Amino acid sequence: MSMSQSDYHIPECRSFWKTAAHETFPVNPNSFSEDLGDSYFERARVHPRFLHSNATSHKWEFGAIAELVDNAVDEISNGATFIKIDRCENRKCTDDPILLFQDDGGGMGPDDIRKCMSLGFSSKTSDNMIGQYGNGFKTSTMRLGADVIVFSCKNNQVDDRETRSIGLLSYTFLTRTMRNDIIVPMLDFEIVDDQAIPMIFGSQSDWDFNLKVILEWSPFSSLNDLLMQFNDIGCHGTKIFVYNLWYNDDGLLELDFKDDIEDIRLQDSLKTNGRSVAHTKMIQSHISYSFRYSLRDYISILYLKKMNTFSIILRGKPVQHLNISKQMKFDKVVKYRPHVEKKENIMNISVGFSKEAPLPGMYGLNVYHKNRLIKPFWNVFPENLFKTKCIIGMLEANYIKPAHDKQDFERSILYNSLEKRLKQIVKEYWKTHKHHIEPIHNTGSKHVETNNASQVDPSSNPVVVEPLSSMDIPVIEVTTEMPLHSLIGPTPHLSKNFPNKFPPTATAIESRYELEDENIIDTSDPKSFDELCENNLILLAKREELKKSKIKLMQEIDELKRELAEVKKKNSILGLDV
């Protein structure tokens, strides 16, 4: 049963992008110094408004979650083997779920957790670590929810002392109590003979005040509740609870925990744009699209190389690493040497058609930096150019500096040079490999089938070929390297009289990027193209049925062979007896 609002504090506004307009703070110019007083409080001396404005660097919720995953991955050097991401109940308000992150890294002691709660401090000096700015924890947690409470255990091997620390960063507390300074209540304990002994750095009254604030403004009601959170952490590790999660403009939680019990999702808003239902569903299921709305899909491609000793467990089920190169067909590797001092900065750029080509909608290049995905499925050409909409690829650009939210790169000469080279690579790949997937070439008044070297008489009308029925499909062995038109056979010609639905500027844009190649698939009539999509899906489904039938027949053959062997064995025994 939910508790009343008087028992559980929530922000005045639950929408992240609107909350700044609802903030109310005292205007007394002397209130800052008066607020501080002489008491010993754990705090960063920054106005609470900065917590919200700082978190706006994350436009995308999954980008904020990835920051916290990165922190756990950086702890692999300290022995971390997993991070758990899950939903848990809020005992004070059962209608308000909590987002949980837990890892078994080195943990944080009293000094470490204070640095974590400070702004702009980073103790990460290794080039191999993902986080460098000391700002990710604050921006990510505040983007996901208004409040966060952290529990961390650390075993100091120098003096063999085990400590447990709790820190509360509550935007709700700061705004509802009209603070002009960011106060961060903290509690620390030392484990002595299996007992948690309070560590008091200021006065006892300050420690009592910190405990009072944490119990009043967190999901936990007693000191015993707080200490129980350490039970499943062990002697080292960290647990993060993000609560008072933000709502979207429709009054729903931004993070959807109900649609899939093994995933965390965002609202999917894909428009059909004239596509068939089957084509739309195919796009929605492809990783180049689904990563935007499925946290499991996004994390599966978040790191370039698979981490064999580290698991990311989402809602009780490990996330399986996905290698984008295995989603390509007719792929090739292009070497690129950027204009940097280090000669070893030679990149391998993998590019190929998506397995679903020539169906458009699954496209883009994944650009990584030090194993971390920065630009997922980057379309280097304008959105309205069909030619690149079935080409995918991947590369690792360690020489370009990522932006602070790790969802893009800082604009620089190196970045612009890379973008220009990628456009060239995609254009050249299309020109040299398009014959693998093009069912039809449209060259003005001529119509040429790619699986037939002979040309159709230009004076004749286009021949419309009826699609094969399911009964006409032969049993064939299919490999991922076979061109799609070799599977689906003759395909209907698309009429040259279809109206052009591209914007008037499309031709100018194509000329700008030197992509004026006439031999492209004519997709201006969505109905005819959707028929091709539907036929393709039917044939793929039939292929799966035939494969299953083949397996079943092979099993029956094996069973008959065993029975025959038994009969022969019995006959030989009877022959000996005679």
Average of per-residue pLDDT values in the chain: 78
Q: Given this model, what pLDDT does residue 156 score?
A: 84
Q: What is the mean pLDDT of residues 358-371?
A: 90
> Cα separation of 575 and 578, whole Å?
5
Lowest mean pLDDT among 48-57, 135-144, 417-426, 444-453: 444-453
Specify whether the CB–CB gap between 172 and 147 falls below 8 A.
yes
- The string of pLDDT tens digits covering residues 322-355 is 999 999 999 999 999 888 776 567 899 999 999 9
Per-residue pLDDT band at 409 (split at 50, 70, 90): very high
Per-residue pLDDT band at 566 (split at 50, 70, 90): confident
Q: Which residues contact 114 (CB under 8 A, 6 or more apart)?
A: 42, 167, 186
Query: Per-residue pLDDT for 210 more than 60?
Result: yes
Q: Given this model, what pLDDT does residue 133 score?
A: 43
**532, 538, 543, 549 alpha-carbon torsion, rounded to 10°:** -170
% of the chain surpassing 70 pLDDT: 70
Query: Per-residue pLDDT for 20 more than 80?
Result: no
Picking from 437, 440, 453, the residue whose alpha carbon sits closest to that of residue 522 is 440
Give the three-class secondary structure for 322: coil
Lowest mean pLDDT among 44-48, 372-376, 390-394: 44-48
Q: Given this model, what pLDDT does residue 577 score?
A: 64
Q: Given this model, what pLDDT does residue 224 score?
A: 96
| 468 CB-side CA count, 13 A | 17
The burial class, CB within 10 Å (0-12 / 13-18 / 19+), for 154 is buried
Per-residue pLDDT band at 219 (split at 50, 70, 90): very high
Lowest mean pLDDT among 292-306, 414-428, 447-461, 545-559: 447-461
Specify whether the CB–CB gap between 32 and 178 falls below 8 A.
no
Q: What single string gives the DSSP state of each residue in 253-267? A: BSSBSSS-TT--B--
Residue, of 283 and 251, whose pLDDT is higher:
251
Q: What is the mean pLDDT of residues 566-575?
A: 81
Output the furthest CA–CA distance in the chain (Å, rounded).
Answer: 116
Query: Per-residue pLDDT for 512 more than 80?
Result: no
Specify whether the CB–CB gap between 172 and 5 falls below 8 A.
no
Domain boundaries, the chain: 19-245, 320-436, 442-544
Q: What is the mean pLDDT of residues 501-514?
A: 38
> Cα separation of 211 and 207, whole Å?
6
Strands 82-88 vs 311-314: parallel, antiparallel or unpaired: parallel
Structure tokens that stand for 284 in this block: 């929605």
Q: Given this model, what pLDDT does residue 544 score?
A: 74
> Cα separation of 55 and 50, whole Å?
8
Q: Given this model, what pLDDT does residue 31 score?
A: 45
CATH T-level topology, domain 19-245: Heat Shock Protein 90 (3.30.565)
- The string of pLDDT tens digits covering residues 232-253 is 999 999 999 999 999 988 889 9
Q: Given this model, what pLDDT does residue 130 score?
A: 44
Specify whether the CB–CB gap between 121 and 220 falls below 8 A.
no
Residue, of 116 and 27, whose pLDDT is higher:
116
Per-residue pLDDT band at 463 (split at 50, 70, 90): very low
> Cα separation of 328 and 341, whole Å?
32
Q: Could you identify the residue written with the tokens 């007693």?
A: 222
- Beta-strand ranges (E) seen in 326-407 are 328-336, 347-354, 364-369, 372-378, 391-396
Q: What is the mean pLDDT of residues 129-153?
A: 81
Q: Given this model, what pLDDT does residue 76 score?
A: 95
% of the chain surpassing 90 pLDDT: 46
Structure tokens that stand for 210 in this block: 């910190």
- The string of pLDDT tens digits covering residues 22-46 is 555 454 444 444 444 445 555 445 7
* Torsional class of 308: left (φ above 0), alpha (ψ -120 to 50), beta (otherwise): alpha
> Cα separation of 119 and 136, whole Å?
9
Q: What single string gives the DSSP state of each residue in 65-116? A: HHHHHHHHHHGGGGT--EEEEEEE--SS-TTS-EEEEEE-SS---HHHHHHH
Query: Per-residue pLDDT for 93 more than 80?
Result: yes
Task: Given CATH 3.30.230, say whether it is the number of domain 320-436.
Answer: yes
